[in-house]
Structure 1
Amino acid sequence: MVENVQDEHKIKLTTEIHPLLTNDILTQLKNNDIRTLGNFLDKSIEELARKSKLKYKEISLIRKHIINTYTTNIFNAEEYYNKPLSSIIPTGIQSLDKLLEGGLRRGKVYEICGTPHSGKSQIFYTLAVNLSLERNQGIYFIDTRNEFCIERIEQILKLRGYNLEETAPKIENNIFVEQIFDVNDLITTLKELHDEIPKKWNHMRVIVIDLFSSIFWPLSFEESRLGFLNYVTNLINSLAKQHSIVVIIINSVKVNIVNKSVTTPDLGQYWFDVPDTRLLIKQNMFNVDNYSIEVLKSTRLKQGCIVNIVIDKNGVS
Structure 2
Amino acid sequence: MNRLHSQIHPLLTEEVVGTLHAKQVFTAADFIKAEAQQLVKTARLNFKEVLALKKFLTKNFAPTPVNGLNYYKSVLSNSAIIPTGINSVDHILNGGLFTGNVYEICGLPNSGKTQFSLSLMKNVVQNMQQQVYFFDTKSDFSAIKAKKLFSGHNQEHLQDYLSKVTVFRTYTRHELINGLYEVKNNLENDLKLRLIIIDSLPAVLFSSHDSSSNNSYLNHLVNLMRYISVEYQIVFLITNLVTTWSDGDFKKQQDHMEKIACGRYWFTVPNTRLKIEKTNKENMFKISVLRSDIVNRKSQDSVNIFLMDTGFVEQCK
Superposed pair shares fold, TM > 0.5:
yes
AA partner of residue 309 (structure 2): K
Q: SS where residue 256 of structure 1 aligns?
A: strand
Q: 1:171 aligns with which of 159, 162, 169?
A: 162
Q: SS where residue 228 of structure 1 aligns?
A: helix
Instruction: Give the TM-score normalised by the residue count of structure 2.
Output: 0.71
Partner of 1:235: 224
User: Are 2:270 and 1:275 equivalent residues in the alignment?
Assistant: yes
User: Are 2:187 and 1:193 equivalent residues in the alignment?
Assistant: no
Deviation at 1:77, TM superposition (A): 4.9
What is the aligned-residue identity percentage? 31
Partner of 2:103: 110
Task: Determine the C-alpha separation between the residues in 1 that align with 2:73 and 2:156.
Answer: 40
**Residues 89-100 of structure 1: pairs in structure 2 closer than 5 A:** 89-100=82-93
Conserved? CA contact 2:130–2:194, under 8 Å: yes
Task: Determine the C-alpha separation between the residues in 1 that align with 2:77 and 2:301.
Answer: 34
Task: Determine the C-alpha separation between the residues in 2 that align with 1:266 and 1:101.
Answer: 26
Determine which structure has more spread, i.e. the larger CA radius of gyration: 2
Deviation at 1:79, TM superposition (A): 4.3
Partner of 1:263: 258
Partner of 1:292: 286
Task: Determine the C-alpha separation between the residues in 1 that align with 2:230 and 2:311.
Answer: 30
Give the direction of change, closer, same or farther, for the CA distance of 1:282–1:68 in structure 2 (3 Å limit). farther
Q: SS where residue 304 of structure 2 aligns?
A: strand
Conserved? CA contact 1:157–1:164, under 8 Å: no
Conserved? CA contact 1:143–1:180, under 8 Å: yes
Give the direction of change, closer, same or farther, for the CA distance of 1:153–1:296 in structure 2 (3 Å limit). same
Partner of 1:309: 305
Q: 2:144 aligns with which of 145, 151, 167?
A: 151
Query: What value does the CA root-mean-square deviation take over the aligned residues?
Result: 2.1
Deviation at 1:82, TM superposition (A): 3.9
Partner of 2:233: 244
Task: Determine the C-alpha separation between the residues in 1 that align with 2:186 and 2:231.
Answer: 12
Unaligned runs of 5+ in 2: 1-65, 247-253
Deviation at 1:141, TM superposition (A): 0.3
Task: Determine the C-alpha separation between the residues in 1 that align with 2:144 and 2:190.
Answer: 27
Task: Determine the C-alpha separation between the residues in 2 that align with 1:200 and 1:170.
Answer: 20
AA partner of residue 241 (structure 2): S
Q: SS where residue 100 of structure 2 aligns?
A: coil
Conserved? CA contact 1:115–1:252, under 8 Å: yes
Deviations 1:157-188 (A, max 9, x none): 11xx211333212320x211111111111111
AA partner of residue 270 (structure 2): P
Partner of 2:29: none
Q: 1:184 aligns with which of 140, 152, 174?
A: 174
Q: SS where residue 190 of structure 1 aligns?
A: helix
Partner of 1:22: none
Task: Determine the C-alpha separation between the residues in 2 that align with 1:189 and 1:76.
Answer: 27
Unaligned runs of 5+ in 1: 1-66
AA partner of residue 248 (structure 1): L
Task: Determine the C-alpha separation between the residues in 2 that align with 1:108 and 1:314.
Answer: 27
Conserved? CA contact 2:147–2:158, under 8 Å: no
Deviation at 1:197, TM superposition (A): 1.6
Conserved? CA contact 2:276–2:285, under 8 Å: yes
Q: 1:210 aligns with which of 199, 217, 221?
A: 199
Deviation at 1:78, TM superposition (A): 5.5
User: Are 2:179 and 1:162 equivalent residues in the alignment?
Assistant: no
